[in-house]
Structure 1
Amino acid sequence: MDLLDISQTTSDNETTSVKRICVIGAGAGGLAALKAIVEAPQHKAGEWKVTAFEARNEVGGIWLPAPPTDDPPLTPLYDSLTTNLPHPVMAFTCFPFPPSTAMYPSASVVEKYLTSYAEHFGLMEHIQLNTAVTNVARNSTNTGWTVTLSTGDDSNYDLVIVANGHYRVPRYPNTPGLDLWLNAHKAKHSAWYRHPLDLGAKVLVVGDGPSARDISAEMSTSPTTKTLVRSVPNAPNTEIANIKTRGRITSYCADLSKVIFEDGSTEEGVDFVILATGYELSFPFLSPEILKPGLAPPIPPLPRDTYNSTYNVFPLAKHIFPLQSRYPPSSLAFICLLMRVVPFPLMEAQARVIVHAFANPDAIDDTEEAVDIITHHEDLRREIGDIDADATSQKISKLWHVCRGDKQFSYRDELHRFAERDGLGMVVVPDWIKEAYEKKEVLRELWVDLVSKGEADDWVRGVGEKGEHEWVDVLRRMIQYAENREKRLAGKEENNIVGDIAKL
C-alpha cells in the first residue's frame, strides 16, 4: 500500500487525507527541509502539514551558543569560531549573506543568518521550540510513525525527517590509558572548550580537524602555555616556535604526565589534553528496532535492517533514505550525514530530493540504489587494501559518508537531477564554487592575514549590494592575490639563495 495514500485520524476522530510531516531539529538542516516542504505544491494545497520540533529556545542548531555545562554540551561552539569556508560558497543558494559580511563570518553572524532565513521564508510558525523528540516508532498498524515529545505528548505522522545534527556526542579514542586521564580530569573533549584557560605549561591537542587547528593556534598564544603539542596521525615530528607536532598517540601513561606516540617517541610533563577527536552519529530517539547499533553485517547482500556504527548509517539510498524491509524507505529521511562538504547548499539539494520522494515514493528505485551502495562499498574496499575483515568493515564505516575531492559536487548535481521532476528545474553547481572550495585553505590563510593587517573590511565593503557576481569577483581576486604573493615570496627566496651562493 502506498504510504502517501493512507489517511490519518485527527484528535477529534475525523478522517482527513492531510499527510503530517515531522522534522526533528531546527538547525540549518531542519530549516532547509522545512523550507522545501512549505514551498511544495502539496503543502500550499493543504495536503501536507509540517511541524519542526527544536529542543532549544531558538533556531540555529550548532551555531546557537550555550555554556559548556551540559554533559555533553548543547553545542561545541567556541568563542572565537569563524566559518572555515567563504560565506558565498557556504550560503543557501536562495539566500545570500548580507552585503559587506566578512568573508569568514563569526558564529554569531551565522546564527543571525539562519534566524533571518527562517523569518524571511515564514518558517517560524511551523517550529515548536523548547520541545525535544524523545522517541520515534512505527505505529501499531505499521502505516506511519508515533512521535513522542518531551512534553509527554504523542502524535502520529506519516513522514519523518531526522535533522538533529552530528556535533553533539563526543567521540573518544580507545587509546590505552586515556580513561585514567579522563577520570583524573587531566583530559577533556573539545566539546567543552570555549576559550583559552590556564591548563598548565604543556598542553596537548589531539586531532587534525578545523577545531583542532583553531584550538591549537589559540592555546599556543595563551600566556600560561609554554609548549603546545599537537598529535596528528602519521605526521612527521616538527617543532616551530612553541608548537610541537607529533604522530598518533598509542598510550597514555599511568603517571598522568607522559604519552607515547606511534613512532615510539614520548612527550613528558604534559599538563592537560584536549581531545578534538570528532563526534558520533547519535539518534537516541530511534529505537534499536528502527536503527540497530553497531556495524552492519558483511555485504552483499544488503541487510534487511538499518545500522548506526556511530560513523555511518547503513544502508541509505542516496545517503538519505533507509533501504530496509520494515517500512517504506521514503517515509524516513536523514539530512546531511555527509562529512567534508559545503553543508548548507547540500542540505538544500537533499531537501528537494526528500520532498520529491515524499510526493513520489516510487521514484526511489530500490534495485538501482542497492547497486550504487554495493559499488561504493567495493570502491572503498579496494582503496583500503588487504586487511582483515573486521578492520575493513570498521574502516569502510569511517569513510562511508566522507566526500573527498569534488565528489560532493557531482553528488549535489545528481540530487538536483533526481529532484528535477519536481518542476523547479535542474540546478548545477557553478564552477566558481568548485574553484573557491579547492582554494579554501589559501583563501582562509589570506583572510586571516588581511584581518591581522586591518585590511579585511576594505575587501568586502559594499560587496553584494548589486548581486552574487560581486562576491564571485572578490573571491577570484583573492585567489589571484594569494597566488601572486606566493610567487613573490618564492622569488625572494630564490634571490636569497642566489645571493648566498654568490657570497661563497
Structure 2
Amino acid sequence: MDLPSISTDATAIHSAEPSPNEKSICVIGAGPAGLAALKVIMDTPQYKAGLWKPMVFESRDKAGGVWYPALPTDEPPLTPLYDSLTTNLPHPVMAFTSYSFPPSTPLFPRASVVQKYLESYADHFHLHQHIQLSTTVIAVEYRAPKWSVWISSGETLSFDLVMVCNGHYRIPRYPNTPGIASWLNARKASHSAWYRRPHNLGDTVLVVGAGPSGQDISTEMRTAAKTVIHSFTGALPQDVGNLKRRGRVLSFGENGTVSFEDGSMESGVDYCILATGYEVSFPFLSPPNIIESIPPPVPPLPRELYNSTFNVFPLAKHLFPLQAHFPPTSLVFLGLLVRVAPLPVVEAQARAALRAFADPEALDGTQEAVDIICRYEDIRKQVGDSPLAIAKAWHRFEPHEQFDYRDQLSEFAEAGPTEDGLETSGLGKIRVHEWEREMYDHKGELRSMWVKLEERGEAEDWVRGVGEGGPHEWVDFMRRVLRKAQEEGETGVGEEGDKAKL
C-alpha cells in the first residue's frame, strides 16, 4: 500500500511535548467491541489521571456496528441485519457484565432492541465524547515507536496502541462450488448479507449453510416459498412439510438444477441464498504488518502475522500478535472468537489488552508461544494436518472454553501495578457466574420455549417487570422459563453459532 509521508502539521499529529506516561490509543470501530474497549479504557486510573487519551473511529454515522440497520444497497452491505433477526442467546448471557438490558426486555430481543441497548450503553458511560463518526480508517502502519493512522478526513495521526474492533460480518464468504459463479452472475443466487425478508424470491428457494443465519432464513422462507431446500454439510435427506433437508451442494447446474453430496438432485430451484459466513478482513493493514495467507504449519511459530480470512495467527491469548515487526502489546485484535457470547468476551479482552499495554513485561512471550503450539497440536489431532482446516477451527471455542478464557483474561488483567505506579485496570475482580454456564448450555431450550410463549401471546406477561429489582431477577426468570420448557418437552434446536454479533 502506497501511503503519503506523515504530516508534521500540529493539526494532523498531536505531539505537543506529552508527558512520558501520556499514551494515545486508537480504537477502530464503534460496534460492541469498540464500545467495550472505550468503556474499559475510561475506567482505568490512567485515563482518569489524564494519561491515556483514546480516540474511536467509526465509519458509519452512528455507533452499534452490525446491529445498526442499513438497506442492502452497498457492495457489500454495511450490515447483514435481516428484518426478523433476534438474538439466539438470552440477553442476560450476552450482555456486557457492566450493564444489563432494561427491565421487561424480551428474553431473546429483536435487533432493534440490541441497537437501543448499545446506544444506551454509550450514553450511560459517556462514551460519545471520544467517538469520531463518519470517519474511516484508511491505513495503519507501524513507524517506530508509534503507529501512524491515516483517516478519511485526510489527517494522519500517531498512536501508541491500536485496538482493532472492526467486526467480521461485512465481507461475504462465497463457496467455490462448481456452477455457483453462473448463478451469481444470473442473479439466481446471492449471499445472505443481502437478505432482508422472505418475499418475492420464487416458489422453490435453496438456503445453503447451517449457521444461525442459515437456520433463521430457511425457517422464515417456509412462510413465503412453496418449497424450501436447506443444504448443509452432513445433513441427511429429509422432507418435512414444505422443507427439504439436503447435504452439501456438489454443483449448481442449468435450469435450476442442483446436486447434493447425499446423492440427491433437485430441479426447478428459483433462487439460492448463500448463508456461508464472512471473511476476517482488515483493509487498513498491509504487509509487513500482516500477510493475507494461510499460515505455515507449526512448529516453529512464524515471524510474520497472518490473516487466513478464517483466523489471525499467531496471537497470544487470541489478542496479541507474536511477530517480529512491532511490539506485540501495541496492536490488539478484539472479537475474533466464534461460538461465544462475544460482549462479555470483548470486555475481558479489552481489560487484558490494557494490562499488557500498561506493562508489556506482563506478557510472557515464551509461555504464550508454548500455549499456541499446544493449541495447534490439539486442533491438529481433531481436524487433521491441513493448515486450512486448522485455520478454520482456530478461533472456534467449545461451549465452556469461552468462560474459562474469560476468567483467565480477568486474572491476567488484575495482576500488579504498572511502571507508572497505577493499577492496570481498577475494575476489581470479574468472574464468570455459574448461571452463565448453565443458561448457555440450555440456550436452545430457552429459545424454543420463548418462541412458543410469544406465539401464544404470553411472553409479555411473563417478562413484565423482570429486572426492576436488580439483575439477579433475570437469573430466576431464565430458570423459570427453563422449567417450563422441560415441562413441555422442549429440547431446542442445535445451532452452529451465536448471533450476539460484533
Fold-level similarity (TM above 0.5)? yes
Aligned equivalent of 2:188: 186
Q: Distance in 2 between matches of 1:265 and 1:475?
A: 42
Partner Cα distance (2:51, 2:136) in 1 = 25
Structure 2 residues not aligned, in runs of 5+: 1-7, 416-423, 492-502
Cα distance in 1 for partners of 2:15, 2:484 equals: 67
CA distance in 2, matches of 1:455, 1:239: 31
Q: What residue number does 2:499 align with?
A: none
Tell me the amino acid that sits aligned with residue 430 of structure 1.
H
Would you say 1:445 and 2:448 are equivalent positions?
Answer: yes
Deviation at 1:425, TM superposition (A): 3.3
5 Å-filtered alignment, 1:304-383, equals 304-383=303-382
1:476 aligns with 2:479: yes
Could you tell me how far apart the structure 1 residues matched to 2:354 and 2:260 are?
49
Separation (CA, whole Å) in 2 of partners of 1:486 and 1:264: 34
Does residue 424 of the first structure (1) align with residue 423 of the second (2)?
Answer: no
**CA spacing shift, 1:245–1:124, aligned 2, 3 Å:** same
Q: What is the Cα deviation at residue 135 of structure 1?
A: 0.2
Equivalent positions of 1:38-437 (< 5 A) are: 38-139=42-143, 142-222=144-224, 225-253=225-253, 255-385=254-384, 389=385, 392-421=386-415, 422=424, 423-437=426-440
Higher helix residue share: 1
Partner Cα distance (2:482, 2:127) in 1: 37
Q: State the percentage of identical aligned residues.
A: 57
Matching residue's letter, 1:464: G
Query: Residue 9 of structure 1 contacts residue 16 of structure 1 at CA under 8 Å; is this kept in 2?
Result: no
Q: Which moved more, 1:420-429 or 1:474-483?
A: 420-429
Number of the residue aligned with 2:500: none
- Find the aligned partners of 2:400 and 2:468 in 1 and give their Cα distance: 30
How far, CA to CA, are the matches of 1:394 and 1:256 in structure 2?
33
- Aligned-residue offset at 1:458: 1.2
Q: Which letter does structure 2 place at the counterpart of 1:463?
A: V
Q: Deviations 1:417-476 (Å, cap 9, x if unpaired)?
A: 111123533322111111110010110000000000000011110000011111100101
Asked if 2 retains the 8 angstrom alpha-carbon contact of 1:9 and 1:15, the reply is no
Deviations 1:244-275 (A, max 9, x none): 0000011111x141111112211111110000
One-letter code aligned to 1:209: G
Contact 2:251 2:260 in 1 (8 A): yes
Which residue of 28, 35, 38 maps to 2:39? 35
Distance 1:30 1:447 in 2: 30
Greater RCO between the two (CA within 8 Å, min separation 6)? Answer: 2
CA distance in 2, matches of 1:12, 1:413: 37
Q: Distance in 2 between matches of 1:242 and 1:487?
A: 22
Moved more, 419-428 or 231-240: 419-428
CA 480–445 in structure 1, closer or farther in 2 if over 3 Å, else same: same
Partner SS state of residue 329, structure 1: coil
Shift of 1:12: 7.4
RMSD, aligned CA = 1.4
What code does the residue aligned with 1:231 have?
S
CA distance in 2: counterparts of 1:109 and 1:416, whole angstroms: 29
Q: 1:12–1:330: structure 2 CA closer, same or farther, 3 Å change rule? A: closer
Q: Which amino acid aligns with 1:148?
A: W
- Matched residue of 2:190: which SS? strand
Distance change (3 Å), C-alpha of 1:31 and 1:13? closer
Q: Distance in 2 between matches of 1:424 and 1:241?
A: 53
Equivalenced residues, count:
471
Max radius of gyration: which structure? 1
Q: Which amino acid is the alignment partner of residue 247 of structure 2?
A: G
Match of 1:301, SS state, is coil
Q: Please, what TM-score do these two structures have when normalized by structure 2?
A: 0.92
Q: Give the conservation status (yes or no) of the 8 Å contact 2:340–2:399.
A: no
Quick one: distance in 1 between partners of 2:265 and 2:186?
20
Residue type matched to 1:194 in 2?
Answer: R
Structure 1 unaligned segments of length 5 or more: list them: 1-7, 489-504
Q: Aligned partners of 1:372 and 1:338: how far apart in 2?
A: 17
Which amino acid counterpart does residue 348 of structure 1 have in structure 2?
E
Partner secondary structure for residue 75 of structure 1: coil
Whether the 8 Å contact between 2:352 and 2:413 is mirrored in structure 1 is: yes
Counterparts of 1:480-499 in structure 2, within 5 Å, are 480-486=483-489
CA deviation profile, 1:222-259 (whole Å, cap 9, x unmatched): 1xx11000001101110101000000011111x14111
Checking the alignment, whether the CA contact within 8 Å between 1:161 and 1:332 is kept in structure 2 is: yes
**Contact 2:188–2:270 (Cα < 8 Å) also in 1:** yes
